[in-house]
Amino acid sequence: MTGFILRRLLAFVPVLFVTVTIVFFLVRLAPGGPFDEDKAVTETVRKQLEQHYRLDAPLWKQYLMYLGDLCKGDLGPSMTRPSRTVSEWIALRFPVSLELGCYALLVALAAGLTAGLLAAYRPNSWVDHLPMSLAMAGICIPAFVLGPLLVLVFSLWLGWLPVQGWDTPAGRILPAVTLGASYAAYVARLTRGGMLEVMTQDFIRTARAKGMSEARVVLRHGLRGGIQPVVSFLGPAAAGLLTGSFVVETIFQVPGLGREFVRAATNRDYTMTLGTVLFLAFLVLLFNLAVDVIQAWLDPRVRRA
């Protein structure tokens, strides 16, 4: 297991290198620049700014200098908001996105596992059809549609929750539900499929023959094998809950890293865009590694392989 983890960590390097290379050149191919504001600066000031941020050098030289800074752990300063460096902005905004992602993951697991277990316990009945129909609806409705709908119902019509904000506990409910709804649907369907397969195995029949209660058979013996598809899904899901929070954070004005990335991309802040993408790519790889380790812990066959 130690060798497996070390090999995966070493594999992070080429993946991150390719990611940085692609994003570095893509952001510079986009029209506009970091200093194209409503109030145009003079040509002298523009040249001084480009010289300060090394934008006057050839593109290949900018790329090599950026790679050199990355090797030192320096993501550079923000071009449009120079009061902080990129690392400081990430450290300031990421805890908010992480908190939102954790709430959304709890919503996805709580709703998805419950619906999946109920559907698997009574297959082909209304207890199965109802949650699976809701799960399909959750998959089909995107966050930029579900978010305004929830605001319309629970904020404007009923007045139970605030429209936007992150300052109160009530302000966290709608963003978490909006972000976690589609993932709850996937968890529900994966849980149902996994449980239906496991509940027909011989060890389940043996557990029932020993006189164990149905709840113990399902939750202790069946659930451990039935949730393995869910565990496999949690790696991409956890990464998606962080990287996919761009839309939700923008809709509900959540001061997280996703909203900061949208602002940076809109303002052509090259260093902030690159630093955010690199940081999120590293998180995706880290989540996938954690899921592989959890799978090996749950299934001895994976450890032997």
pTM for this prediction: 0.79
Which residue shows structure tokens 């993951």?
Answer: 105
Alpha helix ranges (H) inside the chain: 2-29, 43-52, 59-71, 86-121, 126-140, 143-150, 173-198, 202-209, 214-216, 223-226, 228-243, 245-251, 257-266, 270-298, 300-304
One pLDDT digit (tens) per residue for the chain, 305 residues:
677 778 778 888 888 899 999 999 988 888 877 777 655 667 777 788 778 888 888 888 889 998 898 888 888 888 888 888 899 999 999 899 888 988 998 998 888 888 888 887 777 788 778 888 888 887 888 888 888 999 999 988 988 888 887 888 888 899 999 988 888 888 888 888 888 777 777 777 777 777 777 666 776 667 766 777 887 787 777 777 776 678 888 888 888 888 888 888 888 888 999 999 899 888 888 877 877 777 667 666 655 55
CATH superfamily of 93-304: MetI-like (1.10.3720.10)
